Amino acid sequence: MPMPPDLLPPAYRQMHVIRKFEETIRDLYQQGRIRGSFHPCVGQEAVAVGANWALKPGDALSCTYRGHGHALAKGLDPQAAMAEMLGKSGGCSKGKGGSMHFTDPSVGLIGANAIVAGGVPHAAGFALAAQMQGKDSVALTVFGEGAVNQGVFLETLNLAVVWKLPVIFLCENNLYSEMTPSHETTSNVATHQRAAAFGMPAEVVDGNDVEAVYAAVEKAATHARLGQGPYYLEAQTYRLWGHMMGDPEVYRTKDEVAQARQNEPIARLAQRLLSLGYTQANLTSLESEAAAIIAAALAFAEASPPPLPASALDDIFA
Ligand SMILES: Cc1ncc(C[n+]2csc(CCOP(=O)(O)OP(=O)(O)O)c2C)c(N)n1
């Protein structure tokens, strides 16, 4: 099913919420107010919004350290996300997880993960539980193209096919694994071909086109919901900022990044909306709404107290 056209303006706002969230974190980071690492998803917002908006509320998401956009698009409250970034008790992980450990089971976010490919088997586990319980929920797992060389990734794809699990494997192929061009480490960078060899449908999608991502994930989710097993999608996209704060970006040229900027997803959606008859004023208003959401998130996070030392071991052990 194509993305309903009335979802396009809110999708534009949501992509701006994600972009603004990342820009705010960058500023906080530069002010020394964020501890730990931050892996921005700037340039990859269409994958996050297209994919998660094609899911149903009972469906699950596992993502990576670069998953702020996915978490927000799945429904994580920006206030809880911002407070988590600042290590505050109002954060989604009560300030004890930070950037790489966003979690909120109430919206189906079963976890971001700092371990490359670490969230892939978690999604399969959710899918197995849904299958055993007779639910029609599906699990989406998002990972980078570097993850396809991890043993656990290959083991999960194999069992997902054997057990016909309702799981969608979504690779965000942004060409680089950390600071290494993927073709230097991966025998076949067309990761969908590797997935197809396991015997599941596997396709490429334009990851900078929110409508294309939505349609592809919706089709994959329907396939999985009908008991037809897993589906693999490779979204081709580009990370416009460095791998993390402080990345010297010596592995790519400024020209390459400038060229990729021409194809960036938010500008593309703006053009699409204008072609549908929306005005520049409409777009500006959606952008202001996004900025207000992030300003409120920051105010909430700043006012939230840090976790109490006595709570250090709460929620750690089952
Ligand atoms: C198991 C494991 N090995 C190594 C690392 C260090 N590491 C962090 S990100 C990364 C690159 C991952 O690249 P990719 O999967 O393409 O995702 P991207 O960062 O491009 O989104 C590596 C090797 C890690 N976090 N986990």
Distance 114 CA to ligand 1 centre (A): 8
Distance 276 CA to ligand 1 centre (A): 39
Listed residue (85, 86, 40, 63) closest to 245, CA to CA: 40
Task: Assign 289 a pLDDT band (cuts: 50, 70, 90).
Answer: very high
Name beta bridge partners: 142. Answer: 170
Percent of the chain's residues with pLDDT above 70 = 100
pLDDT of residue 315: 87
Q: Are 101 and 35 a contacting pair, CB within 8 Å?
A: no
**Residues with Cβ within 8 Å of residue 156, at least 6 apart in sequence:** 120, 121, 124
Longest CA–CA span in the chain (Å) reads 56
Name beta bridge partners: 38. Answer: none
Percent of the chain's residues with pLDDT above 90 = 97
pLDDT at 142 over 80: yes
**Residues with Cβ within 8 Å of residue 168, at least 6 apart in sequence:** 138, 139, 140, 141, 217, 220, 221, 224, 230, 231, 232, 233
For the Cβ of 43 lying below 6 angstroms from any atom of ligand 1, the answer is no
CA separation for the pair 272, 259 (Å, rounded)? 20
Chain mean pLDDT for the chain:
97
CA separation for the pair 314, 265 (Å, rounded)? 40
pLDDT of residue 195: 98
Task: Assign 60 a pLDDT band (cuts: 50, 70, 90).
Answer: very high
pLDDT of residue 51: 99
Which atom of ligand 1 has the smallest separation from the CA of 117? 1
Scored b (16 or more CB within 10 A) or e, 300-314 reads bbeebeebeeeeeee
pLDDT of residue 316: 81
Task: Assign 318 a pLDDT band (cuts: 50, 70, 90).
Answer: confident
Task: Assign 35 a pLDDT band (cuts: 50, 70, 90).
Answer: confident
Listed residue (54, 8, 61, 47) closest to 215, CA to CA: 54
- Helices 151-162 & 119-132 angle (0-180, nearest 10): 20
For the Cβ of 44 lying below 6 angstroms from any atom of ligand 1, the answer is no
Distance 15 CA to ligand 1 centre (A): 24
Minimum CA distance residue for ligand 1 atom 12: 177
For the Cβ of 178 lying below 6 angstroms from any atom of ligand 1, the answer is yes
Residue found under tokens 């990345």: 247
Task: Assign 230 a pLDDT band (cuts: 50, 70, 90).
Answer: very high
Q: Name the helix (H) or strand (E) containing 284.
A: helix 280-303
**pLDDT tens digits for range 87-113:** 999 999 999 999 999 999 999 999 999
CA separation for the pair 281, 166 (Å, rounded)? 42
Instruction: Look at the pTM and tell me if it is higher than 0.95.
Output: yes
Which atom of ligand 1 has the smallest separation from the CA of 176? 20
Distance 192 CA to ligand 1 centre (A): 19
Minimum CA distance residue for ligand 1 atom 13: 177
pLDDT of residue 135: 97
pLDDT, mean of residues 73-84: 98
Distance 239 CA to ligand 1 centre (A): 14
For the Cβ of 116 lying below 6 angstroms from any atom of ligand 1, the answer is yes
Q: Name the helix (H) or strand (E) containing 49.
A: helix 45-53
CA separation for the pair 263, 73 (Å, rounded)? 21
Which atom of ligand 1 has the smallest separation from the CA of 182? 16
Q: How many CA atoms lie within 13 A of 275 on its CB side?
A: 8
Listed residue (83, 92, 97, 101) closest to 305, CA to CA: 83
Residue found under tokens 């964020």: 34
pLDDT at 146 over 90: yes
Q: Are 112 and 140 a contacting pair, CB within 8 Å?
A: no
Task: Assign 317 a pLDDT band (cuts: 50, 70, 90).
Answer: confident
- Helices 8-30 & 45-53 angle (0-180, nearest 10): 130
Q: Are 38 and 26 a contacting pair, CB within 8 Å?
A: yes
